[in-house]
Amino acid sequence: MKYSGWPDPGELVVGKIDEIEDFGVFVDLEEYEDKRGLIHISEVASGWIKNVRDHVREGQIAVCKVLDVDKGSQQIDLSLKDVNDHQRSDKIQEWKNEQKADNWMELAFGEEIADEDYTAIANELIAIHGGLYEGFKQAAIHGEEALEDTDLDDDEVDAIVETARENVSVPYVNVTGYVDLENPSPSGVDGIREALEAAEGNGEVPEEVDLEVSYVGAPEYRIEVQAPNYKTAESALEASADRAIAAIAGHGGSGEYHRERRTDDE
């Protein structure tokens, strides 16, 4: 997605160097439609510059700082030397992430989505989460809840959440659920203990998943899962509860899974 507006002074932008002159470098801005900037020779690198081509090359992707924007003359002044290595690395990663999200939009809504529809949906994600990538990331972690403040319809929300959960990997996702276990049979506490051991895995928990079961207050037990993505975490959480319920049922007891903690008066 390319923005139709203008960058702001002080903003970091990604551009492709397409023309090199003795007085400076022309850059096509990758994030803005039909926008081109100029890096004056004095802003290419610190110190005296004998030959601009010793510092840049045509076709190079560069991260620049916007110094000034003159909409009247259609001029954007840029600096290459004012961007440090850390800023450059972070901006390139951000740009690559937005390109990924652009592809996810096509997966969610099809390659034939009309430009105006694409823009409307993208603007909703940007308005709430600051960018397409962050919007998909939050949808992967929190599901429909991440999009409840947007004006997207149910079909659009479902498409984004489904695509996000299938494609977005986040460092760690934490999900929590609860299971109520009751065992009036003679096996009593031993049956409960066996059900909790079943919840903890019995060797069935995927290697990338960290799962912990803890006591809340009879008959409630907490299941906490940490996993690399929402889909894996949610699946592991539900599987843990299912194992516990099946185990307690085998003793003649009963179990119930729920996502929110019970209050004392429930």
- Kindly write down the DSSP assignment for every residue of 198-211, as one continuous string: HHTTTT-S-TT-EE
The domains found in the chain, sorted by start residue, are 12-83 (2.40.50.140), 86-167 (1.10.150), 173-258 (3.30.70.1130)
Residue ranges of the alpha helices (H) in the chain? 85-109, 115-129, 132-142, 154-167, 188-199, 230-249
Residue 200 CA: distances (Å) to CA of 125, 204, 211, 231: 37, 9, 7, 19
* Lookup: tokens for 111: 């390659």
Q: What is the pLDDT at residue 265?
A: 47
Residue 235, phi then psi, degrees to nearest 5: -65, -45
Which residue is it, tokens 């951000």?
A: 94
d(CA 220, CA 123): 43
Q: What is the pLDDT at residue 205?
A: 78
Which residue is it, tokens 């110094």?
A: 67
Q: What is the pLDDT at residue 142?
A: 81
Model-level pTM? 0.64
Full strand arrangement of the beta sheet holding 254-258? 210-217, 220-227, 173-182, 254-258
Residue 222 CA: distances (Å) to CA of 42, 214, 266: 62, 5, 17
d(CA 192, CA 190): 5
Residue 199 CA: distances (Å) to CA of 22, 214, 255: 70, 10, 12
d(CA 128, CA 91): 20
Nearest-10 Cα torsion for 87, 93, 97, 100: 140
Q: Write out the chain's pLDDT in tens, 266 residues.
A: 677 789 999 999 999 999 999 999 999 999 999 999 999 999 999 999 999 999 999 999 999 999 999 999 999 999 999 999 999 999 999 999 999 999 999 999 998 999 899 999 999 999 999 999 999 999 988 888 899 999 999 999 999 999 998 998 877 888 999 999 999 999 999 999 999 999 998 777 777 788 999 999 889 999 999 987 888 889 999 999 999 999 999 999 999 999 887 655 44
Q: What is the pLDDT at residue 1?
A: 66
Q: What is the pLDDT at residue 173?
A: 83
